[in-house]
Amino acid sequence: MGEVRNLFRPVGLLELERILDSECRAFPPRLPEQPIFYPVLNREYAEQIARDWNPSDARSGHAGFVTDFEVEASHLDRFEVKTVGANRHQELWIPAEELGAFNAKLKSRIRVTQAFYGDAYLGPRPLPTVVRAANPREQLSLFHASFEYNRFDFVLEVSANWRLVLANHAFWSVCPPEQQGLSVDAARAVLSAIAVEWDRRFPDLPLPQAGALKPAGG
């Protein structure tokens, strides 16, 4: 494999769901009003947007996620680097019509490394399985019930609802356990069990680290 370059992109919930639909192998096509695709050159910049802007934005689903990924370095030479503010605010400007070719040059899956949530976060809809509650504050207790009742069914639930787990595991870890109907020890145990099964099933897709839950209007 030739030289690769690590890039980053902050995304909201809608874009994350479309990335997950591709099995984390492609960024979704741009909308008609979005002529440019903007990956950024450093993690700090991506984190700033995901942390400070997305959780307060309803269009972002009240959540911001930092993605990172590797791209064939030679493919990036054709795109202009733009600095939009401080020196660290550097982006590549990729025309929407070239996003397909950009996706073809990805040399890794798109990893979600950090997650930041607003208090109004509702997350993706789960599959109609055991963890079928739409409210993310009710989902961890259902995982816990499955874990306590039948470990084999629990493993199947983590695998079947992997998109939900990737989007919400960090939320469950920062949302107070009492708001999720669990004790601190029960929440810690089921979160750890989910992480263990996740690592076995998806070793190349780490669960994101969580930022603090941002209060409504904060």
pLDDT above 90 for 121: yes
If pLDDT is split at 50, 70 and 90, which confidence band does 103 have?
very high
Segment 22-60, tens digit of pLDDT: 999 999 999 889 999 999 999 999 999 999 999 999 999
Question: Residue 216: its pLDDT value, please?
Answer: 64
Question: In this structure, how many other beta carbons lie within 10 angstroms of the beta carbon of residue 208?
Answer: 23
pLDDT above 90 for 171: yes
Interatomic CA distance for residues 24 and 172, integer angstroms = 22
If pLDDT is split at 50, 70 and 90, which confidence band does 83 have?
confident
Provide the CATH topology of domain 4-117: ADP-ribosylation fold (3.20.170)
If pLDDT is split at 50, 70 and 90, which confidence band does 217 have?
low
Phi/psi of residue 34, each to 5°?
Answer: -125, 85
Segment 184-193, tens digit of pLDDT: 999 999 999 9
Question: Residue 8: its pLDDT value, please?
Answer: 98
Interatomic CA distance for residues 139 and 137, integer angstroms = 6
CA dihedral of 209, 44, 65, 63, whole degrees rounded to 10: 100
Question: Residue 13: its pLDDT value, please?
Answer: 97
- Per-residue DSSP letters for the chain? ---EEEEEEEE-HHHHHHHHHTTSS-PPPPPTT--EE--BS-HHHHHHHHHHTGGG-GGGTTEEEEEEEEEEHHHHTTSEEEE-SSTT-EEEEEEGGGHHHHHHTB-S--EEEEEEEBTT---PPPPSSSS--SSHHHHHHHHHHHHHH-HHHHHHHHHHTHHHHHHHHHHHHHS-GGGGT--HHHHHHHHHHHHHHHHHH-TTSPPPEEPPPBPTT-
Which amino acid would we find at residue 17?
E
Segment 204-215, tens digit of pLDDT: 999 999 988 888
Distances (CA, A) of 65 to 85, 103, 164, 186: 21, 19, 14, 26
Question: Residue 1: its pLDDT value, please?
Answer: 57
Question: Residue 218: its pLDDT value, please?
Answer: 56
Instruction: Give the chain's mean pLDDT.
Output: 94
Question: How would you classify the pairing of strands 63-72 and 111-117?
Answer: antiparallel
Question: Residue 2: its pLDDT value, please?
Answer: 78
Question: Residue 53: its pLDDT value, please?
Answer: 94
Question: Residue 127: its pLDDT value, please?
Answer: 86
Give this prediction's pTM: 0.95
Nearest one of 42, 27, 45, 49 to 94, comparing CA atoms: 27
- Average pLDDT (198-206) is 96
